Structure 1
Amino acid sequence: MVIADDHVMIRAGLRLVAENADGIEVVGEAADGNEAVALARSERPDVLLLDLAMPVVDGLEAARTLLGDPTPPGIVMLTTFGSDENLDRALRTGVNGFLLKSSPPEHLVEAIRVAAAGDGLIDPAVTMRVIASFVARPVLKPPPGLDALTERERDVLLLMARGLSNREIAGEAGVGEATVRSHVAQILRKLGLRGRLQAVVLAYESGFVRPGEV
């Protein structure tokens, strides 16, 4: 994996947490978005930890650039929580995860593993922020793909909107994680989305889920 953050001490802390976990190797560090893109393309890591706010080129623009590549890495955005506008823009990019820098180490390790597997994870605090940001917004017309979802896929989307991981959804639904992964993949395909973060945004924005219902 590659770590991109403009603060040396934060990069050191993230590296320490990552390398103390089994099976995770840090192959490079970047101090801005340009370096992050270059490293991701040269080292081909499975996962890129990407700070949202960085000089020269910020994490959001770096993520957009890499997600345009044929085989981008799993991208986990890191933030101390800037403006809601930046959060909203980042959630729509299609990154795999969104994590607060104040999250406990085990959440970081889980986010890395989940992203490496091609799945996504949202910090519960981020989910609450998403919900709050949609309270005052008008509901948009639901996309046609919502009607194509099966009853089980709709249930899974509701659980995704609560910020649950695949493991947690499997526990709630009483099915295996492989089954949940299949449902999530079908949801994303039918809705034309890149990742589960976009699915959560769509669920609230379309009125499929309303704040307070989950």
Structure 2
Amino acid sequence: MTQISLALADDHPLMLAALVELFRNTDEFSVVATGTNADDIFEIGLRSGPDVFIVDLMMQGNVLETIPKLVRCGGKTKILAFSAMSKCDLAIKTLDAGASGYVLKGSSPHELIEAVKAVHRGEIFITRELACKLVEEQRIAPLRRLAGAPIKFTSREDQIISMLTRGSTNRQIASELKIGEKTVKNYMTILMQKLNARNRLEVLIAAQKLANEREQFSRH
């Protein structure tokens, strides 16, 4: 069985030790490196190239600036934020910066393990409690405004939305569709306008919500 390689970054020694112990107690994972600040995240990401990097957000340095730098340069590495902060705005900023998941530190070990597996598969994972808050607080008003207005996507827009739901970065989308990254950004701007969304995460939530509503409508 191929193991998922992990790197872990947290500036609390007890938390870091607990994470190492959790993942070293299963054959599914191998811990290849640990760090305690934002600089470590970038250096370890480039040097070790883990499959998944679990990072605390409140460490020395600017983690939110480090995440997109590593995503651009770190190849296959997926970033999973592991934070005590349950603010929706912070979660949105983190995912918009390029992280593939956001898990609260109050979550169970099982949920954290499932989150690692999900982002490794290319999915976006958000702690259920926080995901509910995001949908309620960030999307209710815009979705109500959109409810009576049919939205049509081009085939290319549908392709991009599908890849976004799999956790693909702009670079990966551009590579698979054989278009430029600038073109992908242009499509993202169009999707944000169509869905009345402010960022990448809101595009996903709005598109998925609309798809579910249309599916339910078609059954009646």
TM-score by length of 2: 0.65
**Which residue of 200, 207, 210 corresponds with 1:208?**
210
**Which residue of 23, 26, 32 corresponds with 1:27?**
32
Report the Cα distance in structure 1 between the residues aligned to 2:152 and 2:26, rounded to whole angstroms.
39
Describe how 1:61-140 pairs up with structure 2 within 5 A.
Answer: 61-69=65-73, 71-135=75-139, 137-138=141-142
Q: Deviations over 1:180-203 (max 9, x none)?
A: x9895599859867xxxx765214
Report the Cα distance in structure 2 between the residues aligned to 1:201 and 1:135, rounded to whole angstroms.
7
Letter in 2 for 1:116: H
Tell me the CA shift for residue 129 of structure 1.
1.8
Equivalent residue for 1:163?
none
More deviation in 130-139 or 87-96? 130-139
Tell me the CA shift for residue 120 of structure 1.
2.8
Identity, % of aligned pairs?
Answer: 18
**Which residue of 152, 155, 158 corresponds with 1:148?**
155
- Structure 1 or 2: more helix by fraction: 2
**Which residue of 48, 51, 59 corresponds with 2:56?**
51
Structure ranking higher on relative contact order (CA contacts 8 Å, 6+ apart): 1
Equivalent residue for 1:7?
12
Report the Cα distance in structure 1 between the residues aligned to 2:101 and 2:138, rounded to whole angstroms.
19
CA RMSD between the two structures = 3.9
SS of the equivalent of 1:71 reads coil
Contact persistence 1:3–1:30 (CA under 8 A): yes
Pair member with larger Rg: 2
Unaligned stretches of 5+ in structure 2? 1-5, 178-183, 189-198
Equivalent residue for 1:41?
46
Tell me the CA shift for residue 81 of structure 1.
2.0
Report the Cα distance in structure 2 between the residues aligned to 1:122 and 1:205, rounded to whole angstroms.
15
Q: 1:68 to 1:52 in 2, by over 3 A?
A: same
Q: Deviations over 1:17-70 (max 9, x none)?
A: 111122211111111111111011111111100112212222x22211111116
Tell me the CA shift for residue 128 of structure 1.
0.9
Tell me the CA shift for residue 136 of structure 1.
6.2
Report the Cα distance in structure 2 between the residues aligned to 1:42 and 1:187, rounded to whole angstroms.
22
Q: 1:146 to 1:35 in 2, by over 3 A?
A: same
Contact persistence 1:134–1:205 (CA under 8 A): no
Letter in 2 for 1:201: E
Unaligned stretches of 5+ in structure 1? 158-180
Letter in 2 for 1:202: V
Letter in 2 for 1:12: A
